[in-house]
Amino acid sequence: MMLELLSVPAVILILGAFVLPLIPERFRSIAFITFPLVALVMVWTMPEGNLLQVPFASYELDLLAVDGLSRIFGIIFALITVIGGVYAFHIKDLGQQSSALAYAGGALGVTFAGDFFTLFIFWEIMAAASSYLIWARETKESAKAGMRYLLVHIFGGGLLFTGILLHLSSGGSLYIESIEPAYTAANIFMLLGVALNTAVPPLHAWLADAYPKATITGAVFMCALTTKSAVYVMIRLFPGWEILIWVGVIMAIYGTIYALLANDIREILAYSIISQIGYMVTAIGIGTELALNGATAHAFNHIIYKSLLFMAAGAVIHATGTSKLSEMGGFAKKMPLIVGLYMIGALSISGMPFLNGFVSKTMISGALGDAHLEWPILLLLIATIGTFLHTGLKLPYFTWFAEKKTDFEVSSIPTNMKVAMGLGALFCILFGVAPQLLYSQLPYPTDFQPFSIYNFVEMTQILVLAFVGFWFLKNHLNISSTISLDTDWFYRRPAGVVRTVFVEFPNNLFGLAETFSLQIADRLSGLSENPIKVLLPSFVFSGREIKSDGFTASMSAALAFILFGFIVAALFVLL
């Protein structure tokens, strides 16, 4: 039984998290890459089907449900963990390495879970393990942000679990299968739980709050795993839920506007995740085979270019010590390689032909076109323009090319970070020029052809004019040292009041009660020391003090004799 568990890729990674501390430090980074590599090979070579059942109470849990959809997500999660491992090769922080492995294990577990119970367990492992990647930054801000992140995810897990329990109690199956669009309480709770991890507004604020505060290497894992595993679950459970079409469009625009306003480079990238997931959610809402293929392909590509972008942003922070556009500028010549690699990722996400974003974005707009959803197409195009504006133009321009705003040193970047970024860029180009490599792995067979004159004309015109617009209007973009208020306002702003009402007030009340009861106990114990003092207070009689607890010398002597007599009598009787 235990040996069979080793055939689960998620178990390998979580086991790795526990084995890592036992490995000598100089081999640890290699081991850190080896575990996900093993998992990658396993995912790649597993046959399809439900490969491992484990009895649990009166249920049979399905730990390893492999099909086309779970395999492609499994491949990309394992692959990005390997690349993230290369990027973090120089890190000697055992806590970060172990939690990253457990986190990736959670994502793989969710991917191959065949039943809701297994899904939920791995879902929670992801939340707990990823929180440490924020705390490991060891700043006051990250400590608070990590706690908020964990609390929000526990809340999301609660929503999901409530949904699962309601689903089971209303006769639903424990096994994961697509749910008919019906707004029952069970479905709504499950949808909300999944939507929280997918970062659907207004449940999205944890993402833009936490990712910019995570460690440089931790953010690379985070940007790849949590939201995309939730996208996977959404594809599984809610394909064809029409509400998701518009939810996705709103996400895409919402994320774009916030990304345009953000000052922190990783906050721009974090909001851009929300915007990109909007495309996937829209596609899931359409629910056709082409649309679900598009959502899957876009999640796959997104993981590659977004982690590349986060890696480049991390390199900038590593080199300069700052992450704010309001403090940077004018050092493109000091890191040309990073700038180049970043631009590959940025043009990919913007949908430039021959890079990977193009081959999946066109698939989603093709699916929208087939469904005659004209306004979503036009609005998603606006989000594409916005993506090019903030990730493709604003961020690189104000980070590297614009006038220098403050003085800072630019230190060198470890080679392993550059290698990892090179790998990311390589995949961006590879799937961009040879989309068949990706298409052949998609859950539904497809003969989709992205390279049409129509698509070239569309993207060229959009991107060229967006660039021209940026060039003339760039001074209207925000690069001041500000933060953006988002829906986290609702739990961050009242935090002080909540703390006063629910923590400090009860705390003070208990404190008062404690002091009061201790004082009473103190008095009572004083009383019990010599009750006669209280019952018969001392008094003054004809000029001399009569002590109620004292005796005259003769009385004491008499009492002593009586006591002595008792002892002698007792001894006599006993002996």
User: Which is closer to other proteins, CB of 378 or CB of 410?
Assistant: 378
Count the residues of the shown chain that bind other proteins, applying the rule CB under 8 A. 44
Residue 562 three-state SS: helix
Footprint of other proteins on residues 347-376 (CB under 8 A)? 369, 374
Please give the backbone phi and psi of residue 264, each rounded to the nearest 5 degrees, phi first. -80, 130
For other proteins, the closer CB: 482 or 552: 482
437 binds other proteins (CB under 8 A): no
Minimum Å gap between C-beta 78 and other proteins is 36
Q: Does 260 bind other proteins (CB under 8 A)?
A: yes
Q: How far is the CB of 454 from other proteins (least distance, A)?
A: 6
The CA–CA distances, whole Å, from 443 to 50, 179, 236, 321 equal 16, 18, 11, 43
Q: Which amino acid would we find at residue 334?
A: K
Nearer to other proteins, 15 or 477 (CB): 477
Q: Provide, rounded to whole angstroms, the least separation between the CB of residue 475 and other proteins.
A: 10
Q: Which two tokens stand for residue 234?
A: 């959404």
Shortest reach from residue 343's CB to other proteins, in Å: 14
Closest C-alpha among 238, 230, 252 to residue 287: 238
CB atoms within 10 A of CB 150: 19
Q: How far apart are CA 453 and CA 431, in angstroms?
A: 19
Nearer to other proteins, 48 or 374 (CB): 374
**Helix 265-286 crosses helix 374-387 at what angle (to 10 degrees)?**
160
Our CB check for other proteins shows the closer of 115 and 209 to be 209
* Residue 241 near residue 324 (C-beta atoms within 8 A): no
**Shortest separation between residue 37's beta carbon and other proteins, angstroms:** 41
Nearer to other proteins, 94 or 332 (CB): 332
CB 46 within 8 A of CB 10: no
**Residue with smaller CB distance to other proteins, 337 or 457:** 457
Q: Which is nearer to other proteins, 160 or 385 (CB)?
A: 385
Q: Which DSSP helix (H) or strand (E) runs through 544?
A: strand 544-546
Query: Using CB under 8 A, which residues numbered 445 to 484 contact other proteins?
Result: 453-454, 456-458, 460-471, 473, 476-478, 480-484
DSSP assignment of 30-89 equals HHHHHHHHHHHHHHHHPPSEE--EEEETTEEEE--EE-HHHHHHHHHHHHHHHHHHHHTT
Q: Which helix (H) or strand (E) holds 541?
A: strand 539-541
The label of the residue with tokens 């197409």 reads 377
Question: How long is the chain?
Answer: 575
Residue number, 416 or 478, with CB nearest to other proteins: 478
Residue 187: phi and psi, rounded to 5, are: -65, -40
Residue 256 binds other proteins, judged by CB under 8 A: yes
One symbol per residue from 289 to 328: x for binding other proteins (CB under 8 A), - otherwise; what is it? ----------------------------------------
32, amino acid identity:
F
What is the footprint of other proteins within residues 488-547 (CB under 8 A)?
492-493
CB of 347 to other proteins, least distance (A): 14
Residue 313: CB minimum distance to other proteins, A: 19
Least distance from C-beta 510 to other proteins, angstroms?
A: 28
Which of left, alpha, beta for 329 (phi over 0: left; psi -120 to 50: alpha)?
A: left
Q: Pull the structure tokens for residue 495.
A: 């935090």
- Of 31, 166, 168, 381, which one interacts with other proteins (CB under 8 A)? 381
Q: Which two tokens stand for residue 247?
A: 């939810």
Given candidates 147, 485, 509, 534, which one binds other proteins under the rule CB under 8 A? 485
| Chain contacts with other proteins (rule: CB under 8 A) | 256-258, 260-261, 369, 374, 377-378, 381-382, 385-386, 389, 453-454, 456-458, 460-471, 473, 476-478, 480-486, 492-493
